[in-house]
A = this chain, B = another copy of it.
Amino acid sequence: MTVSIGLLGAGRIGKTHAKAVSQLESAKLAAVYDPFEEAAKEIAAQTGARIDSLDAIMNDPAIDAVIIATPTDLHAEQIEQAARAGKAIFCEKPIHLDGDRVRDCLKVVEETDAKLMVGFNRRFDPNFAEVKRQIEAGAVGEVELVQITSRDPSPPPAEYAARSGGLFKDMMIHDFDMARFLLGEEVVDISAMGSSIVDPAIGEAGDVDTATVMLKTASGKIAVITNSRRATYGYDQRVEVHGSKGLVSAENKRTTTVTVANENGYTAEPLMDFFMERYVDAYRIELETFVKALTEGTAMSPSGIDGLKALELAETATTEVAKARETAKA
């Protein structure tokens, strides 16, 4: 079976997915849609996909699946349309910034029995995937404490920070998913702290740029997440999982293994710059996994529920930090 795929959205991440599909033997990119036609043309030229309208793609019975890589506020609606059209769906995270809207959308998914996978790409990073494999293989025994460090190289414009739903929904949502993935249990308790010390404009826009969260499961496992919008030394992405038998950890990736030593010491290069470089393998493997689940008829993971759970944690953290800011002002 060759999966025939329609791509919605031909921006940066859409291009990444188009390239991943073009490298798969069991899938082909049949059509691409983007209101900005130049972007669509570029992908069409590279992959041989036709350019088409959103509705035409949704209604084409020859198309098995859609990849939703459009702006966030269109995700839920397009998931619903695709679900009703009987398409399998790969959707970039988040499904929506509002939890209620996500719940409504997932009801449609459930009613139509649609297959939905949400793009938490980091689960497919070879390093974090290996950490998960080690946990499952029993290398650390029972998981006790998860530590996630996640830092962007530099802050986004303050107006983006506001529009994005805030740090917890825009950035830490990946780490909430990673925490659930590594803990292997649902979170029942959460506590958050945040500051705007990297860029005051972000604080004025009502968001934070430095934040930490503690999570706890019913059995007492704990996770700690730290986020910052600043890391002068590159995109910092690490996890540690401590268990009853030991520790498994994934360090950052670098482009080379070169070190220069002199009277000032030993210097290794900074980390990769950002997610398009750091997670290039993850994006590819993610799409492979989606296509494989389709051709083999296995369950989609991460699922719509995974998307919802991470968002709910982000909503709680957002509210808690907002309250603390109000209190501090009062």
Contact = CB atoms under 8 A, between A and B. Distances in A.
A233 B149 contact: no
A262 B232 contact: yes
A247 B224 contact: no
Interface residues of A, number: 66
A265 B233 contact: yes
A306 to B, nearest CB: 23
A197 B231 CA distance: 34
Contacts of A251: 257-259
Given A244-B230, A247-B233, A256-B250, A224 B212 contact: yes
**Number of copies of this chain in the oligomer?**
4
Contact of A258 (B246, B248, B264, B270): B248
A264 B266 contact: no
25 contacts: A127-B257, A134-B258, A140-B262, A142-B197, A144-B195, A145-B212, A193-B222, A210-B222, A214-B214, A222-B226, A232-B261, A232-B262, A232-B263, A233-B246, A233-B261, A246-B260, A246-B263, A250-B256, A250-B258, A251-B259, A252-B257, A261-B270, A262-B270, A264-B270, A266-B269
